[in-house]
């Protein structure tokens, strides 16, 4: 396995990888390998497993470890692997972080514990204890819609002083919050700020962000890499062209069926159209109905015809 340089800040497109599942509800190892190769051949700059898009909260510890080990094996050091270790239990975060390190991961990512109501002081001490107890660098993960608490800018700045805490992924979809982060980290260029919602990728990079954790990059990695590069190069005409395609995915695939889980259902089902994974989910989620699949296939085909070269 190649050794990646953890002293160089990670930049670019880091897809939040879906978790391939087979018809028996087990991690689909063949699907993991095919997806990893699809992403790497698409030029992504890293992968993030066991996030929201990876259905982490519905997987048991054995499934999580199997996914970590297989992903790191198939990646084989070609790109950084970031591992989500979010848990309501500090010890659970620590255990999974240590396993990720043994498997060859680059860093871990943790959202706040999402059951108990906590304030910023408690949040600070949670992350401090976690960073003190794990062998890998740590990314903070702001996901207030799911965790009931936002990582305040002041808390993020304070935590960034810890040598193990190297960045923050923001999935709040709050542009003002992210711009405030960027302003307050102007004097810390090595602290990596990544945005979750892909609709905000271009504007974030134009404003100095490091890149995006874009779900659609599971499907069309080259599209998101091109959009990132266009933003880095300040190529406005290309940004406008590519952004329209990203918005088509957001509107036509992520909202199909009207479910609260439509984003993930649309994403995994579309990947099945490419023959990369099966359209299977971990309970409580379930697949689209057959008529919904057929309707999505029509939408997907139209979008794919505009994207795939």
213 annotated as a binding-site residue: yes
- Strand order across the 12-13 sheet: 12-13, 211-212, 192-195, 165-170, 138-142, 107-110, 81-84, 47-49
Please give the C-alpha separations between residue 98 and each of 2, 79, 131, 258, in angstroms, as whole numbers.
19, 20, 12, 39
The pLDDT of residue 9 is 82
Q: How far apart are the C-alpha atoms of 218 and 44, rounded to whole Å? A: 10
What pLDDT does residue 208 have?
Answer: 86
What's the CATH number of domain 12-239, 3.20.20.70, 3.90.1150.10, 3.40.140.10, 2.60.40.1120?
3.20.20.70
Rounded CA-CA distance 133/163 in Å is 13
84, β-bridge pairs: 109
Query: Could you tell me the end-to-end alpha-carbon distance of the chain, in angstroms, rounded to an integer?
Result: 32
| Cα 277–chain centre separation | 18
Total count of residues recorded for the chain: 309
User: Cα–Cα distance between 179 and 177 in angstroms, integer?
Assistant: 6
> Helix, strand, or coil here: 295?
helix
At residue 162, the pLDDT reads 97
Q: Report the distance separating Cα 309 and Cα 303, nearest Å.
A: 12
Question: Is 127:118 a contact under the CB 8 Å cutoff?
Answer: no
148 catalytic per annotation: no
Domains in the chain: boundaries: 12-239
Helix (H, G, I), strand (E, B) or coil at 119: coil
Return the number of other C-beta atoms located less than 10 Å from residue 39's C-beta.
22
Q: What token pair was written down for 158?
A: 């304070």
Q: What does the pLDDT read at residue 4?
A: 55
Q: Which of 65, 164, 169, 226 is catalytic?
A: 169
pLDDT score of 6: 61
How confident is the model at residue 1, as a pLDDT? 42
Query: Mean pLDDT for each consecutive 10-residue tract of the chain (309 residues)?
Result: 62 98 97 99 98 96 98 98 97 98 98 92 98 98 88 97 96 90 92 91 90 96 97 96 95 92 96 98 95 97 87
Q: Is 233 exposed, middle or buried (0-12, 13-18, 19+ CB in 10 A)?
A: exposed
- Catalytic site residue 169? yes
* Residue closest to 232 by CA, chosen among 9, 86, 13: 13
């Amino acid at each position: 396995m190649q050794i990646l340089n953890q002293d160089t800040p990670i930049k670019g497109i880091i897809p939040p990888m879906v978790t391939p599942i087979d018809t028996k509800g087990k991690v689909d190892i063949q699907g993991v390998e095919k997806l990893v190769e699809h992403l790497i051949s698409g030029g992504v700059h890293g992968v993030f497993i066991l996030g929201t898009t990876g259905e982490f909260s519905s997987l048991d510890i054995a499934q999580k470890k199997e996914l970590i080990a297989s992903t790191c094996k198939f990646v084989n050091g070609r790109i950084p692997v970031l591992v989500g270790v979010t848990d309501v239990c500090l010890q659970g975060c620590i255990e999974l972080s240590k396993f990720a390190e043994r498997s060859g991961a680059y860093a871990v990512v943790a959202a706040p514990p999402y059951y108990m109501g906590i304030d910023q002081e408690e949040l600070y001490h949670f992350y401090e204890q976690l960073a003190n107890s794990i062998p890998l660098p740590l990314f903070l993960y702001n996901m207030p819609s799911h965790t009931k608490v936002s990582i305040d800018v002041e808390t993020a700045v304070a935590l960034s002083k810890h040598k193990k805490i190297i960045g923050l992924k923001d999935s709040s979809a709050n542009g003002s919050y992210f711009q405030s982060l960027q302003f307050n980290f102007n004097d810390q260029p090595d602290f990596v700020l990544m945005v979750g919602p892909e609709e905000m990728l271009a504007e974030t990079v134009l404003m100095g962000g490091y890149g995006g954790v874009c779900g659609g990059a599971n499907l069309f990695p080259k599209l998101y890499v091109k959009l990132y590069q266009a933003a880095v190069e300040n190529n406005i005409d290309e940004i406008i062209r590519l952004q329209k395609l990203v918005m088509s995915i957001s509107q036509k695939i992520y909202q199909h069926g009207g479910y609260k889980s439509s984003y993930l259902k649309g994403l995994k089902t579309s990947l099945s159209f490419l023959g990369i994974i099966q359209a299977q989910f971990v309970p409580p989620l379930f697949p689209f109905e057959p008529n919904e699949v057929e309707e999505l296939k029509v939408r997907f085909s139209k979008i794919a015809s505009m994207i795939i070269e």
